Structure 1
Amino acid sequence: MNAILLMLLGLGGMLLGYLFYSKFVAEKIYKLDPNFRTPAHEFEDGVDFVPTNKYVLWGHHFTSVAGAAPIIGPAIAVIWGWVPAFLWVIFGTIFFAGVHDAGAIWASNRNRARSIGALTGDVVGKRSQSLFMIVIFLVLLMVNAVFATAISGLLINFPSSVIPVWGAIFVALIIGQVIFRKWMNLGTVSILGVIALYALIFAGPSAPLSLPETVMGVSDNATWILILFFYAAIASLLPVWMLLQPRDYINGLQLFIGLFLLYGAVLLSGPELVAPAFNTNTPEGTPSIVPLLFVTIACGAISGFHGLVASGTTSKQLDKETDARFVGYFGAIGEGSLSLATIIAVTAGFATLADWQAVYHSFGQGGVTAFVSGGARILQEGLSLDIELSETLLTVMAVLFAGTTMDTGLRLQRYIFQEWGAIYNLRWMQKAAPATLLSVGSCLILAFGAGGADGSGGLAIWPLFGTTNQLLAGLTLLVITVMLVKLKRPMYVTLIPLVFLLVMTIFALLIQLKGFYDTADWFLFSLDLLVLVAAIWIALEATAALNRARNSVNE
């Protein structure tokens, strides 16, 4: 099959979903009100609560949730064939992710921009809130520790990306000042920012930078991880308008240009999908497609991490409630388009089936490297771009998104510690600096405690990210569903995804539990058991909360 047809079907389906289904959900289910006074205006402080242009806010939300996960998940899941991965990305984006993301913004916006974790106590119950906070912390710990490892690996493997990646931070700082102080209109600053960013990308291959293999006895991988967390700690403490918003916005534009180039190269070169539509000859040890497909591809179909961003930072910057449709639902469409591009890159970016099978020789292979190499080949054939430049462009795209996710993730982790400080009346923990130190410290303990001197310990618990992340999405949908029941509105648009996710998550946890037992991996076995108990607990709490809500409405 030609990749052009797959691209047109995927993009066309998601566009129809935004034009029609998102409008129905926004107007008939969430009933977004343009006259509702948002928390960004009510609590405006110039640091976290800042009314923001919807296009800039979309850039923040989209790039914060995109990260590397919508590349990693689909690039691994195609081992079962490109058809299952394609269908889950498209239908998951339209009926799951968009509803989830926009709903999380709406729910938080209607409750003083409180996080989904904090909302759970009021909407569902205090027991669920305690459980939710633990699950949230685990997800953020995984995301921050693993993305730091992923970024460091890409910076080492592709030294031509170092200058563009770090130069983008200075571009964002300048853009933040220009937008905040209104020195230029948004269109002008956007054009100049993109030009500066791509100038850095073109400069990267001519000036590659690498760290020494050891710095004061510390490996280059560990050094990059320490540098990344030092940067993320500072970024998480700065006002959102200074770095977070402009960095995310300009990265959002950069991604769409990158996708435009990649999709344009597909149109011009018309590559064939060499990977099987349904892989009936999967390598030994590959788990069952059901339910593992639905937790392997999380970001790009539906992801609980999105709910943390939507209710943690995005809702604090919402100018008008009606912007939630564009920011949340269209943000999910953007991530779906990235996952679609990944599927095309890792199935049509190889010359032959044998080349593809050489990479996908066991489950877990592929990932960002397959996306970069496959996508670069398509760019070279379709646009006649130099292969090193193509690799740099795609690597920078992946690193910048992983970096913006780390920025937001560490800020959200700081919020969790501050909320714990409020719950347990620990005033020192409610302050930003101590909470940030605790956030960084916990990530570094995982990175170097489980990974040793190399600092890659986040990868130790990464196998549980998909299930834990989908469990978190189920919790977010539970909060939204209970709110809809109390408001006497149709709940099926969130209840169906909620039930589906809980069933698939529990099923996947049971399969993984057996796998960890068979390999005597008692660390992951214990964590899996903990998450499994949490999933069953959530299913019971969901049933009880929905019954209470329905009974209170009927009284």
Structure 2
Amino acid sequence: MNALILLVIGIAGLCFGWFIYSKFVASKILKLDKNFATPSHTLRDDIDYIPTNKFVLWGHHFTAVAGAAPIVGPAIAVQWGWMPAFFWVILGTIFFAGIHDMSALWASVRHQGQSIGSVCRHIVGSKVGQLFMIVIFLVLLMVNSAFGVIIAQESVQHPSTIIPAWGAVAVAILMGVAIYRFKLNLGIVTIIGVVTLYGLVPLGGILPINLPDNFAGFNAYQQWIIILFVYAGIASIMPVWLLLQPRDYINGIQLFIGLILLYGSIFIVAPKVVAPELIPAIQENGGWSILIPVLFITVACGAISGFHGIVSSGTTSKQIDKETDVRFVGYLGAVGEGSLALATIIACIAGLGLLNADLNPETWAMLYKGGAGNFSSGGAAILHAGLGIPESIAQTLLSLMIILFAATTMDAGIRLQRYIVQEWGELYKIPFLKNKWLSTLVAVFLCFTLSWNGLGEGGKNEVAIWPLFGATNQILASLTLLTISVILIKSKRFKGSLVTLIPMTFILCMSFWGALIKLKDYFIAQNYLLFAISFIVIIVTIAVVLSALSIIFKIINSKENA
């Protein structure tokens, strides 16, 4: 099998999703209206609510939702062979992620930019909505904590990325000032920003930055955790136009360029796929139990992710200029992430063969545990073979991609947690929680604490919370789709609701099954903190699903009796 065939099939599928399926859903089911007054205009404050060019907003949304997950998840999933991960990414992007992201964004825009939890509270019921908010908060807690550890690990292991990664912050602030204060041309500012960002890459190789092994009693990993959460807290209270928007936008552009280079190299090199379609254990009788349901909670971002609904209804919906931009920003954002997941799969299953001529399906099992490292190694090999880019620079570029995406997710994630804490302060009449400084401090403290515990032995262990995050994240996606389904059914779009009900049913079964497995695993391992979190998620899920189904059945019965 040649990787070029997989690339062509994948691109063709994503094009079908964008040009045909998303257009049908946007016009016939969601019925996007260009004349609808969006929250960015009706509630404009130029801090959180601000009308934004759809291309800039796409960059912010895409990089905020992407993070490192569309790289980490697929890179791990290819351990079962290339076929399951490949088809789940393509089909998931078209029929699951794109619809989930676009419809969550639409629902929030139609409800004054409120979070999907608040939307659920209005649509399904106050008590159920409050439970839904707990799941959202836990997902944000887990993703911010996990990405904090991932960035710390990448920063220690790849010191050549430090200058370009932190230089991107300065570049973003200057771009924000140039666009919004000096009203400079977006195209010119973009070109200057991208050139500056890539100009910092070789400088990072010349001047790698290593933190001391011991400073004030903290090792390098711990020092990075402290630095990252101090930064994330400050970034989360800055106006979105000054850092969050331009930072995410420039990261989106650099990813777009990176994908073009990587895809172009694949066309030139046409590397051979060295991974098996399925590992032998799956092909044997009963072997599918190895794959199901674990695949569907391992590959979340890149197929469907509940975190996307939080971003769509948290920061993105407050910046939509016209409601018709929802399709471009929401669905195309999911397509961009699916493209990254596809590139990750090919880099892992084919790029590694360029580094090891003896690698074949029989010896694949020796290397699959490389995870995200296989993406940077395999991708660098493809870039070197196709375009002649030195492997050291290519690997720095790909490692930088992981850090920048994870960091932008933290930026948005802490801000979103602050929103939820403030909403709780408003809901339960707790004045100090409504203060943005104190609510930010609460969010940062909780994430920092979990990240600190997740460092393990000197920061070298994997994040123990990641499997639980995967299951909870997918449960959240199914609950978001369920909420959207109720909205559509209440609007008498019964047939249209199938585009959300069908993927909702599938992913709810897979993720709930996975959550039960993790609940058992955590109990056996006596990890009672993660056991408690998993138990809360399961109970809340049952409550939300039963309440939503009750409303749906009432609507159906009233229609039959009418």
Which category of TM-score, normalised to the shorter sequence, fits these structures?
Answer: over 0.9
Q: Which amino acid aligns with 1:22?
A: S
Match of 2:250 in 1: 250
CA distance in 1, matches of 2:509, 2:385: 43
Q: Which amino acid aligns with 2:488?
A: L
Q: Is 2:307 aligned against 1:305?
A: yes
Which residue of 400, 410, 416 maps to 1:412?
A: 416
Q: Map 1:148-547; keep pairs closer than 5 Å.
A: 148-281=148-281, 288-351=290-353, 352-353=359-360, 356-360=364-368, 365-449=369-453, 451=455, 454=458, 459-489=463-493, 490-547=496-553
CA distance in 1, matches of 2:500, 2:123: 15
Using the TM superposition, give the Cα deviation of residue 125 of structure 1 relative to its aligned residue in structure 2, in angstroms: 1.3
CA distance in 2, matches of 1:455, 1:392: 21
Structure 2's unaligned 5+ residue stretches are: 354-358
CA distance in 2, matches of 1:182, 1:501: 46
CA distance in 1, matches of 2:462, 2:379: 27
CA distance in 1, matches of 2:559, 2:203: 62
Match of 2:356 in 1: none
Change (3 A) 1:286 1:27: closer
Structure 1's unaligned 5+ residue stretches are: none
Q: Which amino acid aligns with 1:175?
A: M
Change (3 A) 1:131 1:260: same
Using the TM superposition, give the Cα deviation of residue 291 of structure 1 relative to its aligned residue in structure 2, in angstroms: 1.1
TM-score (norm 2): 0.94
3-state secondary structure, aligned to 1:531: helix
Using the TM superposition, give the Cα deviation of residue 36 of structure 1 relative to its aligned residue in structure 2, in angstroms: 0.4
Cα deviations by residue, 1:43-79 (Å, 9 ceiling, x for unpaired)? 1101000000000000010000000001111011111
Whether the 8 Å CA contact 2:76–2:372 is kept in 1: the answer is no
Cα deviations by residue, 1:337-379 (Å, 9 ceiling, x for unpaired)? 000000001111212136642222xxxx332211111111111
Q: Which amino acid aligns with 2:291?
A: I
CA distance in 1, matches of 2:31, 2:332: 17
Using the TM superposition, give the Cα deviation of residue 288 of structure 1 relative to its aligned residue in structure 2, in angstroms: 1.9
CA distance in 1, matches of 2:321, 2:557: 35
CA distance in 1, matches of 2:492, 2:323: 20
Using the TM superposition, give the Cα deviation of residue 380 of structure 1 relative to its aligned residue in structure 2, in angstroms: 1.4
Whether the 8 Å CA contact 1:145–1:457 is kept in 2: the answer is no
Change (3 A) 1:350 1:33: same
CA distance in 2, matches of 1:534, 1:366: 35
Q: Which amino acid aligns with 1:359?
A: L
Match of 1:92 in 2: 92
Q: Which amino acid aligns with 1:404?
A: T
Q: Which amino acid aligns with 1:214?
A: N
TM-score (norm 1): 0.96
Deviates more, 1:511-520 or 1:368-377: 511-520
Cα deviations by residue, 1:144-191 (Å, 9 ceiling, x for unpaired)? 111011011111111111110000100000000111124421111111
Using the TM superposition, give the Cα deviation of residue 453 of structure 1 relative to its aligned residue in structure 2, in angstroms: 8.3
CA distance in 2, matches of 1:503, 1:452: 32
Using the TM superposition, give the Cα deviation of residue 552 of structure 1 relative to its aligned residue in structure 2, in angstroms: 5.4
Using the TM superposition, give the Cα deviation of residue 495 of structure 1 relative to its aligned residue in structure 2, in angstroms: 0.5
Cα deviations by residue, 1:3-28 (Å, 9 ceiling, x for unpaired)? 11111110111011100000000000
Q: Which amino acid aligns with 2:509?
A: V
CA distance in 2, matches of 1:342, 1:162: 22
CA distance in 1, matches of 2:424, 2:76: 36
CA distance in 2, matches of 1:278, 1:475: 31
Q: Which amino acid aligns with 1:189?
A: V
Match of 1:39 in 2: 39
Q: Which amino acid aligns with 1:357?
A: A
Change (3 A) 1:478 1:456: farther
Using the TM superposition, give the Cα deviation of residue 401 of structure 1 relative to its aligned residue in structure 2, in angstroms: 0.6
Change (3 A) 1:286 1:551: closer
Q: CA RMSD in A?
A: 2.0
Whether the 8 Å CA contact 2:479–2:541 is kept in 1: the answer is no
Q: Which amino acid aligns with 1:8?
A: V
Using the TM superposition, give the Cα deviation of residue 523 of structure 1 relative to its aligned residue in structure 2, in angstroms: 4.0
Whether the 8 Å CA contact 1:173–1:246 is kept in 2: the answer is yes
Deviates more, 1:519-528 or 1:419-428: 519-528
Match of 2:30 in 1: 30
Whether the 8 Å CA contact 1:156–1:210 is kept in 2: the answer is yes
Match of 2:134 in 1: 134
Using the TM superposition, give the Cα deviation of residue 515 of structure 1 relative to its aligned residue in structure 2, in angstroms: 3.4
3-state secondary structure, aligned to 1:114: coil
Change (3 A) 1:536 1:288: farther
Whether the 8 Å CA contact 1:117–1:136 is kept in 2: the answer is yes
Using the TM superposition, give the Cα deviation of residue 217 of structure 1 relative to its aligned residue in structure 2, in angstroms: 1.0
Whether the 8 Å CA contact 1:502–1:535 is kept in 2: the answer is no
Whether the 8 Å CA contact 2:108–2:317 is kept in 1: the answer is yes
Cα deviations by residue, 1:302-324 (Å, 9 ceiling, x for unpaired)? 00000000000000000000000
Change (3 A) 1:159 1:43: same
Deviates more, 1:443-452 or 1:72-81: 443-452
Whether the 8 Å CA contact 2:144–2:447 is kept in 1: the answer is yes
Whether the 8 Å CA contact 1:219–1:453 is kept in 2: the answer is no
* Number of equivalenced pairs: 551
3-state secondary structure, aligned to 1:290: coil
Whether the 8 Å CA contact 1:448–1:454 is kept in 2: the answer is no
Whether the 8 Å CA contact 2:161–2:201 is kept in 1: the answer is yes
CA distance in 2, matches of 1:480, 1:53: 26
